Amino acid sequence: MQRFAGFFVALGAALFVHAASAADMPVKVPPAAPPAAIAAPNWAGLYVGIAGGYGWGRAEQTDTTPFSSGAYGTTGGVIGGTVGYNWQSGLVVFGLETDLSYANIAGSTAGTDPASGHCNVPVTPPRCDSAIAALGTVRGRIGYAWKNLLPYVTGGLAYGKLNGSEGVPGTGGSGSAWAAGWTVGAGLEAVLAPNWSAKIEYLYVDLGNPTVFDDVFIGVTVPESVRMSASVVRIGVNYRFGSL
């Protein structure tokens, strides 16, 4: 019996010494968790928006008589609506966007040869003028989601309604026509708030050299072409159906 008592006394003493030693050991602090990575906004999904801005470019009226008004400048504003859809893979954002705007990018000239009677018949003011009266695009976009910003490049189809005229009633002509061409540009979009973003964008637009109206000159009807191109800078606000 005494042997068992001695055994338990020795075991208790050993446990006491072990506990005391453990209490004196420094406590290891668990390593701090790494800071959570800041997730880039999710740009994927459907969005709508409005945009407006300013355009400047050049126009030239020609026919087969032969006649050329010479190149002249055009300026004016644009405002309209946008619909688009984005897909996102990691930080790369792909999208399709279409827009249609009212426009008045217009100009006029007396022509390079007023004696020909095309632009100056002779009347004042001259009647060689043209305008982009509506402008639309269907474009692809590709961008990189960097923090709350989305820089992107874009390009695709451009189309517009062109107005043109020259001379005076009875000598000359006027009319309008829709034309198709191409566009390329770049922009920057930024998160404003959940579901909302703002953008600034530059587009170069070339609408080709379509026939816009018939020119009646000295009893002869001649189709008149108007070549138009423009640079457009616009700002806009988009609403996305799904939080950024």
Q: Tens of pLDDT along 153-181?
A: 999 999 999 999 987 655 678 999 999 99
Which residue's structure tokens are 């080709």? 208
Per-residue confidence (pLDDT) for residue 137, from 0 to 100: 98
Per-residue confidence (pLDDT) for residue 119, from 0 to 100: 73
Per-residue confidence (pLDDT) for residue 7, from 0 to 100: 40
pLDDT, one tens digit per residue, over 92-137 is 999 999 999 999 999 998 866 555 556 765 555 657 899 999 999 9
CA dist 121 and 118 (Å) reads 6
pLDDT, one tens digit per residue, over 23-67 is 454 445 555 555 444 566 899 999 999 999 999 999 999 988 888
pLDDT, one tens digit per residue, over 181-237 is 999 999 999 999 989 999 999 999 999 999 999 988 777 888 999 999 999 999 999
Phi, then psi, of 8 in degrees rounded to 5: -65, -35
Domains defined along the chain, listed by start: 45-240 (2.40.160.20)
Per-residue confidence (pLDDT) for residue 127, from 0 to 100: 73
State the average pLDDT for the chain: 84
Distance from CA of residue 59 to its chain's centroid? Answer: 24
DSSP 3-state assignment of 17?
helix
